[in-house]
């Protein structure tokens, strides 16, 4: 290890020189095993590593995250995949390890946003996981270690330029963190708050029941939000984030953005989508883009333009608004976390449309009564955890 690392450039090519270093003279906690990571790569790597490390600690299961521009596009734990999820995540027929399942879920939740991502793994990267990473468009991966076979495969990716980083899992940073903005140094205590089931006890709604799965999913949502640029909300189902809204100035816009992503994740599982007659050899990113258009309300315009011939062997029947609405009504058992309080009940109305049955948020709005009343209207269980999770 070394005390510093020179980078190609900063956030943009004109921002030179660029480096990372340890101000106290100690060694960096990371080792680059392949590639040459850039400034944003390392921001993604270090934030995503914290996220998967905490998910593993909270659930006891292997965890993975897919990061873009210092916010997660997906995060998940290693629960087994259904046949439908295997198909929409392009996993093939191979048996997957728990870590590979976690990666497939994290990468597959929002494939449009995960394109060109940075991957974080809570456990030593095995060959099963490396094979999946190898065939996706990605910038790099960070993990506490790699098996020899996994490392050899990842070093081969992108003609050897793929970023493979190993982090010391025992590294613990200084409790005070600092950064500079416009020549001014900011200093604060690190956000070391521990998120576990003890923060899910203050149920303020008429529904005061949380199942073990709901508690697990609420924790996944909150831990994900801890490393998501604020404002942020996160929808989680069956151990994986299915919709993350980050960096929005308005809470309702954030809730809508994340809810729309959750809806798209669910619509990808519609029988009509699963049966789309794609041309043989069409690459996965092209399939993802095409599915996104097919699901959207713009598809009829695309059909009229005849563009479908570039992707399908025959013209697919459109997915009508009525069919989409009927399918979305089957989405349920979704957990929702928010990094700050909901100021109005409209957020709950939008969340309900995407199958939300439990919510965790700090509380503290002058309109908490309206938010609780809206939850009661739909039988949603809501926790006030009293913890704000802003991240900038």
Q: How many Cβ atoms are within 10 Å of 188's Cβ, its own excluded?
A: 9
* C-alpha distances in Å from residue 335, one per residue of 238, 322, 327, 355, 359: 9, 25, 19, 8, 6
| Residue 323 in domain | no
Once rounded to an integer, what is the mean pLDDT over residues 63-85? 96
Q: Is 159 left (phi over 0), alpha (psi -120 to 50) or beta?
A: left
Residue 255: the pLDDT is 96
Q: Tell me the sheet residues that pair with 164.
A: 34, 141
Distance CA 363, CA 385 (A): 7
With a cut of 90, say whether residue 296 has pLDDT above it.
no
Residue 303: what pLDDT?
A: 65
- Is residue 206 in a domain? yes
Indicate if 134 and 281 belong to the same structural domain: no
Confidence of residue 1 (pLDDT cuts 50, 70, 90): low
- 392 is a domain residue: no
Q: In the predicted model, is pLDDT for residue 92 greater than 90?
A: no
Q: Is 391 part of a structural domain of the chain?
A: no
Residue range of the domain that includes 140: 4-172
Same domain? 165 vs 189 = no
Q: Tell me: pLDDT of 306 over 80.
A: no
**What pTM, to 2 d.p., does this model score?**
0.96
Predicted confidence (pLDDT) per residue in 337-355, tens digit: 999 999 999 999 999 999 9
Distances (CA, A) of 285 to 135, 138, 255, 362: 11, 12, 26, 38
CATH classification of the domain holding 237: 3.40.140.20
- Kindly state the percentage of the chain with pLDDT values over 90: 90
The verdict on residue 182 lying in a domain is: yes
Q: Which are the contacts of 211, defined by CB distance < 8 A and separation ≥ 6? A: none
Count of positions (residues) in the chain = 392
Per-residue pLDDT of 139-160, as tens digits, reads 999 999 999 999 999 999 999 9
- Residue finishing a domain among 141, 172, 203: 172
User: Residue 120's pLDDT is what?
Assistant: 98
191 and 311 in a single domain? The answer is: no
Sorting pLDDT into bands at 50, 70 and 90, what band is 315? confident
- Tell me how far apart the alpha carbons of residues 45 and 139 are, in angstroms, rounded to a whole number: 10
Q: Alpha-carbon distance 47 to 285, whole Å?
A: 25
| Same structural domain, 62 and 198 | no
Quick check: 77 pLDDT over 90? yes
Helical segments of the chain, H only: 39-59, 83-88, 98-108, 111-114, 127-134, 148-155, 212-225, 251-267, 271-274, 284-295, 299-305, 321-328, 346-353, 368-378
Q: Which residues are the active-site residues?
A: 68-69, 231, 392
Among 96, 61, 119, CA closest to 238: 61
205 and 258 fall within a common domain: yes
- The total number of structural domains that make up the chain: 3
User: Within a domain: residue 39?
Assistant: yes
Cβ count near 226 (within 10 Å): 21
79: pLDDT strictly greater than 80: yes
Average of per-residue pLDDT across 78-89: 96
């Amino acid at each position: 290890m070394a005390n510093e690392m020179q980078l190609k450039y900063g956030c943009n090519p004109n921002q030179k020189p660029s480096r990372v270093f340890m101000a106290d003279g100690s060694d960096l906690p990371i080792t680059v095993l392949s590639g040459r990571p850039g400034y944003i790569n390392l921001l993604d790597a270090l934030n995503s590593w914290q996220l998967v490390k905490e998910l593993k600690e909270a659930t006891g299961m292997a965890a993975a995250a897919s990061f873009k521009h210092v916010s997660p596009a997906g995060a998940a734990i290693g629960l087994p995949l259904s046949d439908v999820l295997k198909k929409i995540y392009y996993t093939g027929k191979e048996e997957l390890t728990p870590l590979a399942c976690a990666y497939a879920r994290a990468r597959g939740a929002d494939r449009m946003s995960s394109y060109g991502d940075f991957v974080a793994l809570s456990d030593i990267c095995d060959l099963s996981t490396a094979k999946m990473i190898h065939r996706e468009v990605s910038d790099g991966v960070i993990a506490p270690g790699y098996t020899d076979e996994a490392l050899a495969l990842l070093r081969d990716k992108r003609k050897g330029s793929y970023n493979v980083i190993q982090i010391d899992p025992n590294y613990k940073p200084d409790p005070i963190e600092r950064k500079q903005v416009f020549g001014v140094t900011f200093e604060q205590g690190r956000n070391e708050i521990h998120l576990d089931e003890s923060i899910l006890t203050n149920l303020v709604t008429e529904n005061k029941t949380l199942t073990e799965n709901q508690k697990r999913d609420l924790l996944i949502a909150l831990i994900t939000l801890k490393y998501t640029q604020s404002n942020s909300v996160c929808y989680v189902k069956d151990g994986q984030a299915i919709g993350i809204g980050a960096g929005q100035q308005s809470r309702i816009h954030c809730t809508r953005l994340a809810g729309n992503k959750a809806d798209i994740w669910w619509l990808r599982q519609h029988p009509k989508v699963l049966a789309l007659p794609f041309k043989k050899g069409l690459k996965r990113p092209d399939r993802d883009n095409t599915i996104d258009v097919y699901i959207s309300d713009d598809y009829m315009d695309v059909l009229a333009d005849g563009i479908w011939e570039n992707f399908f062997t025959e013209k697919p029947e459109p997915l009508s608004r009525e069919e989409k609405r009927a399918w979305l009504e089957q989405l349920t058992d979704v957990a929702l976390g928010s990094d700050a309080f909901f100021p109005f009940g409209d957020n709950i109305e939008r969340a309900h449309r995407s199958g939300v049955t439990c919510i965790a948020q700090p509380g503290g709005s002058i309109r908490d009564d309206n938010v609780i009343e809206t939850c009661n209207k739909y039988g949603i269980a809501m926790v006030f955890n009293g913890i704000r999770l802003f991240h900038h």
